[in-house]
Structure 1
Amino acid sequence: MEMIAKTDCSWSHNTDTAALHSIVQYTELAGMTLVEVMGYTAHAFRIIIDPEAVEVGSYSHFDWKLNHEEALNNLGFSVQYAGKQTNIPPTPEELEEGIQLVQQAIDRGIPALSWDLFIPEWGVIYGYDDNRRVFQCRDVRQDAELPYEKLGRGEVTELYVLGISGYQPVSRRAMLRGALELALRHAEEILPGLEKSKHRNGIAAYDAWIKAFTNRTVEAFGNSVNTVKVWDAREFAVKFLEDVVANWPNEKDRDSSQLRQLASEAAAHYRIVADRLGALVSLFPFPQGGEPNQEAVASRSIELLQDAKAAEVQGVRVLEQMLESLD
């Protein structure tokens, strides 16, 4: 079985978290690594899949405002945002609200998070020229100017901008507790807004993925996108847990050895998850996508996903124990 492993943790296929990491560098938490941001936001434990085609938008099929606000709140930040998660271009009033929010964030010295600047992914807006009415923006496609009027009117015509508005320090222990709570809720409960959707998150997402392969209805490009993003997330989960093992401080009046031991056990389980997903990445390279519905390939993919699910179930159980050890 061909496996790949992530060796460069300075970037991520999960562009919202990568963008949040860039933003955090302009705050009181400057210096926080991407591994830490992926872990403490619980985005390293995210997976969302639809059972019909593993369609390209599965990875972003969540309540953006709620998810990003919870993630940033766990780091100690308060946020404000503008826009609606609909495929409808913003009205002139909504556009003006978005422009003002971005300008206010930048005036505080912190870039803003935005969706679909030059491509339907997340990026940052880090400057503006009010006289020329242009923003300076960066996403995975390019670093360039964007006219004000194009905000929320890109490829998918959807306005979404978020800015950090305040900060209250949070202890590392509280951040870890919050991250584990978010990760466990994602693994075990249906995400808000998905109750009536076919998309599934957490452990149930593996069953959805397996169903699509079983029915031979997998869309090649969408599957390659989701595969590389979930693999990338689990590689960061491993690195994050290993970081807890290596660097968790000795705490006064607390025995941290149990927490480190549990983190080591969880990392071992998630290493299996990442390895199985890495084998899927080899089968379905982005963006070509391979042949997911070819008989032998689909059967092999189901085996890999069953292994990944079993390991993640074990990993989640250890995350629960980690959370208990923090109480």
Structure 2
Amino acid sequence: MKKQLNISWDGIQDATGYLFSFAKSLSCAVKNSSWPEYAEDIVATSGFAFRMWVSADLCPSATSIWSFDCQKPWVENGGLLCDYVGRYWNQERIEKEKRLEAIRNVKSSIDRGIPAISWDIGVPEWGLITGYDDAIQMFYTLPINAEKADPTSSAYNTVEMPYDVLGKREIPILSVLTITGKSDKTKEDILHGTIKLAVNHLKGGEWCDNAKGLDAYPALIRIFEENPGFAASWNAEYFLGTYGALKEYAYKYFEKVGMIELAEIYKAVFNAWMEAFKIKTNEDATAAEVRERIASLLNSAYKNEEEAVKVMESLAI
């Protein structure tokens, strides 16, 4: 059997072009499901609009060092139902079992018209599996760095990937999430859960070997204050762009649900990150004055997110 969905990144809000690949893939999958009204909210209600991880050397891999198997409960906080199949390092004995289970889930999801969210699609980032062909044992995928077949078209070039290499590519970890339905969670319950997820992450409650949550701010600020080489690197642009784009989803969600104080705080946070990103991409970050401005903007965002945590905790939800 063969089936291929017509899926595009178009319409997924990405203020910097660096939106975290899992969040972008998740939003796109939901947008192409039977519940597109959740496509923007889910980035916040799964907690990803609030998540930050920063390594001392600004390695982009810092954005993929967290508990992948928490994807299901985090996304289900947002009112959706999911299936998840994963395998970590040093679990070779279950590699085939988990890969075959993931393949079944992917095909079932595509048969329902929804792309599957998978790790290491094209590059070691999240992307989408958009089709399959049993005759040649091949998936059709939409990597996060996919290019358009024609600049005037909304269609992207698809990349083929053999069934057998799922979870065994450059970074041999299996992580496949599929959207299967909608739960009966109320908007109030979703909001309550979102605030709990946000506070837990921002206060360091989620596993990660690198600086995380609010502690990511001093780690990133230190780079701009003390390391001109790292500050001027593409890696610094990646981190500013990745987290800056996520902040927009936080403020828009709070605005949508009527949490005006939090919406205003996160709009200020978003604007600070965006200004820092703009400076980094347009000016020479080896210059002390440029780095000082970026650090100052990040400090402003840091103080605002600290205040946001206090507000969320005060709600006693």
For this structure pair, what is the TM-score category when the shorter chain's length is used for normalisation? 0.7 to 0.9
Q: 1:231 to 1:26 in 2, by over 3 A?
A: closer
For 2:202 and 2:33, the matched residues in 1 are separated by 30
Quote how far apart the aligned CAs of 1:232 are.
0.4
1:184 to partner: Cα distance: 0.9
What letter corresponds to residue 72 of structure 2 in structure 1?
E
Residue 44 of structure 1 aligns with which residue? Answer: 49
Q: Deviations over 1:67-106 (max 9, x none)?
A: x122222123443333324499994454333323322333
CA drift at 1:293: 4.7
Shift of 1:11: 2.8
Q: Does the CA contact (< 8 Å) of 2:26 and 2:43 recur in 1?
A: no
Distance 1:14 1:56, change over 3 A: same
* Residue aligned with 1:213, SS: helix
Q: What corresponds to 1:218 in structure 2?
A: 230
With over 3 angstroms needed to count, the CA separation of the structure-2 counterparts of 1:33 and 1:139, relative to structure 1, is same
Measured in 2, the distance between the counterparts of 1:78 and 1:38 equals 15
1:72 alignment partner AA: V
Q: Which residue of 2 aligns with 1:148?
A: 163
| Structural mapping, 1:170-319, within 5 Å | 170-192=185-207, 194=208, 197=209, 199-216=210-227, 218=230, 220-245=233-258, 263-285=259-281, 291-319=284-312
> Identity across aligned pairs (percent)?
27
> How far is the alpha carbon of 1:154 from its aligned partner?
3.3
Offset of residue 162 of structure 1: 1.9
Instruction: List per-residue Cα deviations over 1:21-62 (Å, max 9, x = no partner).
Output: 23224555333242x122222221121112x22221222221
Is 1:83 the equivalent of 2:86?
yes
The correspondence for 2:74, drawn from 71, 74, 77, is 71
Q: Which letter maps to 2:280?
A: F
User: Contact (CA 8 Å) 1:224, 1:281: kept in 2 or not?
Assistant: yes
Q: Deviations over 1:160-202 (max 9, x none)?
A: 212235543111111111111101111113422x2xx2x1222
Q: Tell me if structure 1 keeps the 8 A contact 2:283–2:290.
A: no
Q: Hey, what's the Cα distance between the residues in 1 that align with 2:81 and 2:75?
A: 7
Change in 2 beyond 3 A, CA 1:86/1:228: farther
Indicate if the aligned counterparts of 2:127 and 2:141 stay in contact, CA closer than 8 A: yes
Aligned counterpart in structure 2 of residue 16 of structure 1, from 4, 22, 27: 22
Whichever residue aligns with residue 297 of structure 1, its letter is V
Decide whether aligned partners of structure 1 residues 156 and 315 sit closer, same or farther in structure 2, where only a CA change above 3 A counts.
same
CA contact (8 A) 1:105 1:165 kept: yes
Change (3 A) 1:241 1:87: farther
Structure 1: stretches of 5+ with no match in the other structure? 1-7, 246-262
The two structures, once aligned, show a CA RMSD in angstroms of: 2.7
Contact 2:120–2:126 (Cα < 8 Å) also in 1: yes
Task: Output the CA distance in 1 between the equivalents of 2:188 and 2:242.
Answer: 28
Distance 1:87 1:54, change over 3 A: farther
- Look up the SS of the partner of 2:306 in the other structure: helix
AA of the residue aligned to 2:20: N
The one-letter amino acid of 2:160's match is E
TM-score (norm 2): 0.80
- Residue pair 2:118, 2:126 contacting (<8 A) in 1 also: yes
Contact map agreement 2:72 2:84 (CA 8 A) in 1: no
Which residues of structure 2 form unaligned runs of 5+?
1-9, 147-157
SS at match of 2:108: helix
Q: How many positions carry a matched residue from both structures?
A: 290
Residue 31 of structure 1: aligned partner: 37
User: Helix, strand or coil for the counterpart of 1:79?
Assistant: strand
Q: Which amino acid aligns with 1:58?
A: A
User: TM-score w.r.t. structure 1 length?
Assistant: 0.78
Q: 3-state SS of the aligned residue for 1:43?
A: coil
- 2:80 pairs with 1:60: no
| Cα distance in 2 for residues equivalent to 1:28 and 1:103 | 17
Instruction: Please say if residues 28 and 39 of structure 2, whose CA atoms lie closer than 8 Å, have aligned partners that are also in contact.
Output: no
- 2: CA distance, partners of 1:33 / 1:96: 28
Answer whether contact 1:87 1:156 (CA < 8 A) is retained: no
Q: CA deviation at 1:139?
A: 2.5
| Range 213-222 or range 179-188, more displaced | 213-222
